[in-house]
Amino acid sequence: MGVRAPETLHEFEAVARGRLDPAHYGYFAGGAGDEVTLRANEAAFGRLALVPRVLRGAGRPRTGVTLPGGRAAMPVLVAPTAFHRLADPEGERATARAAAATGTIMIVSMAATVAVEEVAAVAPGATLWFQLYVQPDMAFTEAVVRRAEAAGCTALVVTVDSPARGLRERERHSGFHDLPAGLCCENLRDGGRVRPIVMSPEISWEHIGLLREITALPIVLKGILHPADARLALDHGAAALLVSNHGGRQLDAVPATIDVLPEIVTAVGGAVPVLLDGGIRCGTDVLKALALGAAAVAVGRPVVWGLAAGGERGAARVLELLRTEVEHALTLCGCASVRDLEPSMVRRSC
Ligand SMILES: Cc1cc2nc3c(=O)[nH]c(=O)nc-3n(C[C@H](O)[C@H](O)[C@H](O)COP(=O)(O)O)c2cc1C
Ligand SMILES: CCCCC(=O)C(=O)O
């Protein structure tokens, strides 16, 4: 990991950048269009300030959270990201072990380069959720869901922000087109072939209803940005929502996730937990999201940077850094647990 081990998530990105094939770095780092939303996700956290409480005698804070798909030792989950074997030869196996080591939940991407069964087998201590792009062929979708269930996944995270793939200029310019020979989306195997992932504009709420009938797993809808959709998600039996703009990789010019979180939390009215991802880069970002009503957050790129910088140990270090930072920030905010955070403790700073 270079002369000095990276000590912040930004340092991990710098090390990862130096190690990755530039085309792969472009794929991981890039966003859609002019990357307005990609930048906005991080910048919006920078415009918020935390207002601590004092003299509460809170003691050492507890960082754990309970969610529909299980408990996590910290309120930071591993967001689903594709193609981990581009970052490290062990790929998703390493990520899952890192998640298990920090006691957090890994959301395994449907586009993982290690099969979900193998990810579960090599990291028996990990709580895994499975991310799904509903395929127009519902029989195949059901087969994939059955694999995730049999592997022991405890929730289904259905990504709903991808009726088409985002237009990613940086990815194109950096020369990333496809997985190299020898790697494929292992969860898309179907007999002797590997199916392509279809992102279809025909997927609708009806499909969510069908999924609800197919599986007893809690369904988390990932990619909700509009309060009306948050209410529809409740009508369709979602067990949780994940406010996400796909890390700025789908429609450019959508708002930063932290800026829409309060509206979604209001629309949901406490009926189900609301999670958030996009632009979380340190412990105080986590506290801001939790104070504004998120039950937990997820990180995408930072885990990939950890993986590229130092494999399983690097990914574990990134998660451990976040855990330590969250605990420290909770202490300085006078909180005994994440439940003590509330909207009055966040203020727009400029
Ligand atoms: C390289 C990369 C691959 C991703 N792959 C997926 C995926 O397969 N499925 C999915 O639902 N989201 C995917 N996402 C979106 C992430 O789950 C998450 O929404 C986003 O990365 C959060 O933003 P952050 O990277 O700023 O933490 C991907 C994001 C990145 C950066
Ligand atoms: C077909 C893989 C899609 C991965 C993804 O969602 C992303 O790159 O953002």
From first to last of its 350 residues, the chain has per-residue pLDDT tens of: 446 889 999 999 999 999 999 999 999 999 999 999 999 999 999 999 999 999 999 999 999 999 999 999 999 999 999 999 999 999 999 999 999 999 999 999 999 999 999 999 999 999 999 999 999 999 999 999 999 999 999 999 999 999 999 999 999 899 999 999 999 999 999 999 999 999 999 999 999 999 999 999 999 999 999 999 999 999 999 999 999 999 999 999 999 999 999 999 999 999 999 999 999 999 999 999 999 999 999 999 999 999 999 999 999 999 999 999 999 999 999 999 999 999 999 999 86
Cα 80 to averaged position of ligand 2 atoms, centre (Å): 9
Cα 288 to averaged position of ligand 1 atoms, centre (Å): 20
Measured distance CA(174)–CA(245) in Å, rounded: 22
Q: Is the ipTM of this complex over 0.90?
A: yes
Residue nearest to atom 1 of ligand 2 (CA): 197
10 known ligand binder: no
Residue nearest to atom 20 of ligand 1 (CA): 247
The string over 229-267, giving b where at least 16 C-beta atoms fall within 10 Å of a residue's C-beta and e elsewhere, is bbebbbebebbbbbbbbbbbbbbbebbbbbbbbeebbeb
Query: Ligand nearest 257 Cα, by number?
Result: 1
Residue nearest to atom 2 of ligand 2 (CA): 111
Ligand 1, CB within 6 Å, residue ranges: 28, 41, 79-82, 109, 111, 131, 159, 222, 244, 246-247, 249, 277-280, 299-301
The residues assigned a catalytic role are 246
User: Which has the closest alpha carbon to 289: 302, 299, 303?
Assistant: 299
Query: Ligand nearest 41 Cα, by number?
Result: 1
6 known ligand binder: no
314 known ligand binder: no
- Bridge partner residues of 348 (DSSP): 48
pLDDT at position 3: 64
Counting from 1 in the atom list of ligand 1, the atom nearest the Cα of 109 is: 8
Of the CATH numbers 3.90.1300.10, 1.10.8.50, 3.20.20.70, 3.30.420.40, which one belongs to the domain with range 9-334?
A: 3.20.20.70
Ligand 2, CB within 6 Å, residue ranges: 82, 111, 197, 246, 249
- Bridge partner residues of 157 (DSSP): 131, 220
